[in-house]
A and B are shown apart, each in its own frame.
Chain A
């Protein structure tokens, strides 16, 4: 009897504070990600990262899964998932058929109670994007055509090999890459960055990484919410694996602080992994927006404060693009 009463109280409290967005489907699954085991590519356009994960395909009409992750600064993520297949008559023509879009919009200017947060859209029929392969080598993939997938892509593992040493620049670059994976994961947690996080009150929900591992989310306390996000061998794309905890403790307006330590491994082609961690204790939250410094420590190096906000150095500089 206590839990229904608690549920009704939560509902009443939330209704007074915020909107939860449109009605969900009855019996809707929280996690519907498709796992994609394949090569990860990255393209950059004025600081915005586009990551493309392509499972191997034979160039013909047999479909293979793909994922495309777009990340813009400040935090805004759009992840497309579906399948892609070639043209039987022209091996350079490829069609991407998207079935699911995970989006985390940039709502930094809105109060937490007005935010939509992370949402999922299913395309029925699938959204088709046509592209042409202009270049396809071991390191480079150039796609032209639909804006959904076009770009000058380089293999991620080849690019991360450029990050070497344990100095402040290497630490910042390693953190920026790890943070790409953190933000990518947030787009797939329905309601993330909004009042709809109340659905995780007193429950732990797990979400699979696109490549491996899980991230779990749990909320304790309605009016002083503490959200614990736990990564376990989590990878959405090649090159970054996360293990650790991020905890946000705020009031109902999203003012508070981050804590927790998140470990990361940056995988590099032909080099040992770059191992480090980010300590969130120097990050403050105001209206759900981060300020302060991430304290990044690479194995064998010293702790380096990396400011929140714009990436310094940029990903282009970090990855030599």
Chain B
């Protein structure tokens, strides 16, 4: 079973290379398309490239900044949106579970926090309601888009924070006989992430755990004739990221 000397030898290498590249692009595509499903993949691009090369010592230059690279993370969190209306002077609060996708790039670069919000409890002026008793097919989106800076506390512990633009969308479909409740609130916001990135990589899979906190101060609701006086959205959760080999 000798190899055919006439056969194009680079075919194998080429196939192997493309085999390495395909999962990486699929992974990126996957996290962009399905962030709400909690499919998050942590993969500093440079690290993946390096992981593909045989000598580990050569994969990261001595001068490489550990803060560089992409972070893709999955984040379940508690989400609270509280706001006051202008016309009736009512105070509303929605407590929700959120499932989010967090992404940031490099020591200083853009970040994106996109969460699917599942409202559980609604309050208005002291009255407390279970969302499921009044509404059906409810949900929301919390989006925070901005610029972040990273700092390393130790080589394995990383701190990230920055300001951004916050969008909070809520849509609760009323049960028969009840009105819908919806809102689309916009304002400035900010976030902070504390991340532990151990060097331990079982089966060449690196991973990250941490905590995230984000705050939005919403000032404008175009959907509701700007009946919004002010709103505060708070999200506190954990995060889990995976670096695919």
Contact = CB atoms under 8 A, between A and B. Distances in A.
A21 B127 contact: no
Contacts of A10: 171
B95 to A, nearest CB: 13
Contact of B123 (A12, A14, A23, A26): A26
Contacts, number: 94
Interface string A1-34: 0011001101110110001111111111111000
A3 B127 CA distance: 27
B181 A20 contact: no
Given A25-B124, A30-B174, A199-B180, A8 B225 contact: no
Given A7-B171, A8-B169, A11-B169, A23 B224 contact: yes
A184 B152 CA distance: 68
Interface residues of B, number: 37
Interface in A184-224: 190, 199, 203, 205-206
Given A4-B138, A27-B134, A29-B179, A21 B171 contact: no
B212 interface: no
Contacts of B127: 26
A29 B134 CA distance: 10
A205 B178 CA distance: 9
A30 B177 contact: yes
Contacts of B57: none
A interface bracket (residues with beta carbon within 8 Å of B) = 20 to 34
B161 interface: no
A107 to B, nearest CB: 14
Interface string B144-183: 0000000000000000000000000101011011111111
Interface string A120-154: 00000000000000000000000000000000000
Contacts of B179: 24-25, 28-30, 190, 199
A3 B134 contact: no
B177 A205 contact: yes
Contact of A11 (B136, B171, B225): B171
Interface stretch (B11-19, B86-94, B232-240): B86-94
Interface string A38-62: 0000000000000000000000000
B191 interface: no
Contact of B139 (A7, A12, A20, A30): A7
Interface of A: 3-4, 7-8, 10-12, 14-15, 19-31, 190, 199, 203, 205-206
Given A30-B178, A199-B180, 19 more contacts: A3-B137, A4-B137, A4-B139, A7-B171, A8-B141, A8-B169, A8-B171, A11-B171, A15-B222, A19-B224, A20-B182, A20-B224, A21-B224, A22-B85, A23-B85, A23-B181, A23-B224, A27-B122, A31-B177
Shortest 7 CB-CB contacts between residues of A and residues of B: A3-B137, A4-B139, A22-B227, A27-B134, A26-B124, A22-B87, A19-B225
